[in-house]
Amino acid sequence: MSFATLTVPPAEADTRLDRWLRRRYPALTQGALQKMLRTGQIRVDGKRAEANTRLAAGQEVRLPPMPDTPAPKAEPRPIPEAAARELQARVLYRDASVIVLDKPPGLAVQGGPGITKHLDGMLDALAFDGERPRLVHRLDRDTSGVLLLARTVQAAAFLAKAFRGRDVEKTYWAVVVGEPLHHAGTIEMPLMKEGGGGRERVVAAPPGARGPDVVRSTTEYRLLDVAKRRAALLEMKPHTGRTHQLRVHCATALSTPILGDGKYGGAAAHLEGLSGSLHLHARALRVPHPDGGVLEAMAAPPPHMEETMRFLGFDNPAPKPPRRLA
């Protein structure tokens, strides 16, 4: 069997291996991809890899014969001037290496089935006469708040490593329905995905479950405020970054689903008279800066969440301006 080798370009660093391949080979099915990975036909820098392996700039990906020729690179769609200005207005901080963005709810970070508007397709608007910035972490489509971008290849590599390790502190706010039994604690729960065909969801893994599809997840939380046991405001600090981790932890471990999270809380995730949008917000981020020191950034909750907090009487202090500490 003849193999081909592709090199990961700097602009595509920190992309999942499966997504990186499917962009190039549209006819590649998930089943075929998993078989190639399982049998070691696909390798990254000579080593076996998983579908969720994050690629780094300059890595070499060895491939067997693929079911399609590489997809032609699509010409970037022009960004409407109004949309570009709106995105630029959401920049909380920028320097030569990073940009801190206040992502609005409803804006997907990357494209996918049925998603035509996403941040990844609008990053040229944030070049500011420099390089096109790069994603180094992600937020769910309906989650708002602090999102960090790298402005150079070197910064992207540095930050991607920081997010994979334990050097980043992420703080979220969540308005939940009900009051947790314990007002502070640490949630440790193995998670796995179930379903498919657009109905995929994350669930708590059965006791004793093992295998590559079962991942550990840990979240530290504390109660910030409560409104007559009807709703509560939680501060949550995830120590792992699993898909929908905070949503599952609130709904399953605490039995207090995030307000507006019908996917995991069903009808119990809604309160009459309050917004039905997801009330999950990336409040703050503390991360090592590529040029030294530590970057701290905060973002105010989005309008629908601020309105809910005001109605319930929850304290909502103004965020401190982003700053880089020595």
Catalytic residue numbers, as ranges: 140
C-beta of residue 302 within 8 angstroms of C-beta of residue 104: yes
CA-closest candidate to residue 308, choices 108, 183, 174, 178 = 174
Whole-number Å distance between alpha carbons of 173 and 284: 9
Rounded CA-CA distance 5/60 in Å is 6
Would strands 191-194 and 201-204 be described as parallel, antiparallel, or unpaired?
Answer: antiparallel
Q: Are 265 and 276 in contact (CB under 8 A)?
A: no
- In sequence order, what are the residues at sequence separation of 6 or more whose Cβ sits closer than 8 angstroms to the Cβ of residue 206? none
Alpha helices in 103-251 (DSSP H): 153-164, 245-248
320's CB contacts (< 8 A; 6+ apart) are: 296, 298
